[in-house]
C-alpha cells in the first residue's frame, strides 16, 4: 500500500479532519492500467459533481488531474483510491466555509480473485442490511458507507463475490460495491439511484455503450421479481468492469449475449 496526502508521500492525517468526524467527503476508486488511470476525466467529473452536492469548494481539479496522472506514471497496475474531504475544522456539523480540502491517494495491488470473474461470472446473494435512503445524498460517492460495511459483513464465503442491497421499500439499489443491471430480451434495466446508492462510472459507460448498440436502457425501480424474470444479470464498477452473474442465491444463470457484447464494447 502506498499513500500520498495533499500530494506528498505521507500516511497520516489530522484527526480533526471532517472526513473522519462526519464522513464529510467523497472518494473515487480508480483502475490503474499501464501507468495511467482509466477514465480519469470521468472520475474527476463525478468528484466535481459530488463536491457541488456537498458544498465542498476550493478543490483545484486541474491540479488534481495533473497530480494523479503524475503519480500514476510511477505505479504498477492496481487500484488507486482518491479521497477528498472538506478538510479540518472546529467541532460542529456546520462547515465554516474556509476549510482547505484534504486529498488522500492510496494505491493497492489487483485482487487475484477478480481475474477470472469477468469470464466465468460471479455468485451473488441478497443482503438483509438495507441501503441508507436520502435523496440529498443519493448517487454521490460520499464517505458515509456504513450501510455497505454492514451489508458486506453479512457473508464470509469467498465464493460469493457480491451482495445486493435494497432500500427500505424493497427496491434494489445495487451491490455493496457495484451497480446492477438486468437484461430481458433487448432491454436493459438498472435502478435509478435517486433515493440511495452510488452512480458508478462503469454504470454510465455501460448505459452509453448500450444506447450506442441500439439496446433499450431503462432506469426505474427494480425489485427481486424483476431480477427473477431477467435472462441475464451483470454487475459493474470501475475496477472490475463488467461481471456476469452466474448465480443469484440458488438460481443459476449463464453469462448471456448482451452481457458479452457490452463487455466487448466496454473493454480496452
Q: Which residues bind a second copy (CB under 8 A)?
A: 1, 3, 5, 10-24, 27, 29, 54-55, 79, 81, 83, 85, 90-95, 104, 106, 108, 129-137, 142-153, 156, 168, 176-177, 195
Q: Which is nearer to a second copy, 140 or 258 (CB)?
A: 140
Q: Which is nearer to a second copy, 32 or 230 (CB)?
A: 32
Main-chain dihedrals φ then ψ at residue 124, nearest 5 degrees: -135, 145
Q: Which is nearer to a second copy, 27 or 181 (CB)?
A: 27
Q: Which is nearer to a second copy, 95 or 204 (CB)?
A: 95
Distance from C-alpha of 32 to C-alpha of 81, rounded to nearest angstrom: 10
* Cell numbers that stand for 117 in this block: 470473474
Q: What's the min distance (Å) between Cβ of 131 and a second copy? A: 7
Q: What's the min distance (Å) between Cβ of 13 and a second copy? A: 5
Q: What's the min distance (Å) between Cβ of 54 and a second copy? A: 7
- Dmax (CA) for the chain in angstroms is 55
Q: What angle do CA 70, 71, 73 make, to 5 degrees?
A: 70
Q: What's the min distance (Å) between Cβ of 204 and a second copy? A: 22
* Cell numbers that stand for 151 in this block: 451489508
- DSSP, res 112: G
Long-range contacts from 95-98, C-beta under 8 angstroms, 24+ separation: 95/18, 95/24, 95/55, 97/57
Main-chain dihedrals φ then ψ at residue 44, nearest 5 degrees: -70, -30
Q: Which is nearer to a second copy, 199 or 258 (CB)?
A: 199
Q: What's the min distance (Å) between Cβ of 208 and a second copy? A: 27
Amino acid at each position: 500500500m502506498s499513500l500520498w496526502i495533499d500530494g506528498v508521500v505521507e500516511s497520516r492525517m489530522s484527526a480533526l479532519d471532517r472526513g473522519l468526524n462526519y464522513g464529510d467527503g467523497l472518494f473515487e476508486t480508480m483502475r490503474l492500467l499501464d501507468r495511467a488511470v482509466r477514465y480519469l476525466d470521468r472520475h474527476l467529473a463525478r468528484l466535481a459533481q459530488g463536491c457541488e452536492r456537498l458544498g465542498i469548494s476550493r478543490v483545484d481539479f486541474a491540479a488534481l488531474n495533473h497530480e494523479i496522472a503524475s503519480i500514476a506514471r510511477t505505479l504498477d497496475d492496481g487500484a488507486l483510491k482518491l479521497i477528498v474531504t472538506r478538510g479540518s475544522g472546529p467541532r460542529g456539523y456546520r462547515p465554516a466555509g474556509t476549510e482547505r480540502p484534504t486529498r488522500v491517494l492510496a494505491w493497492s495491488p489487483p485482487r487475484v480473485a477478480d481475474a477470472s470473474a469477468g469470464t466465468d461470472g460471479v455468485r451473488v446473494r441478497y443482503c438483509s442490511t438495507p441501503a441508507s435512503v436520502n435523496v440529498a445524498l443519493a448517487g454521490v460517492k460520499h464517505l458515509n458507507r456504513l450501510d455497505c460495511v454492514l451489508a458486506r459483513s453479512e457473508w464470509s464465503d469467498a465464493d460469493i463475490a457480491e451482495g445486493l442491497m435494497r432500500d427500505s421499500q424493497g427496491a434494489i439499489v445495487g451491490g455493496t460495491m457495484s451497480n446492477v443491471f438486468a437484461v430481458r430480451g433487448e432491454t436493459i434495466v438498472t435502478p435509478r439511484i435517486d433515493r440511495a446508492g452510488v452512480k458508478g462510472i462503469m454504470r454510465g459507460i455501460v448505459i452509453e455503450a448500450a444506447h450506442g448498440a441500439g439496446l433499450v436502457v431503462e432506469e426505474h425501480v427494480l425489485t427481486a421479481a424483476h431480477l427473477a424474470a431477467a435472462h441475464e444479470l451483470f454487475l459493474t464498477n470501475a475496477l472490475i468492469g463488467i461481471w456476469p452473474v452466474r448465480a443469484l442465491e440458488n438460481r443459476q444463470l449463464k453469462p448471456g449475449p448482451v452481457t458479452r457484447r457490452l463487455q466487448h464494447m466496454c473493454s480496452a
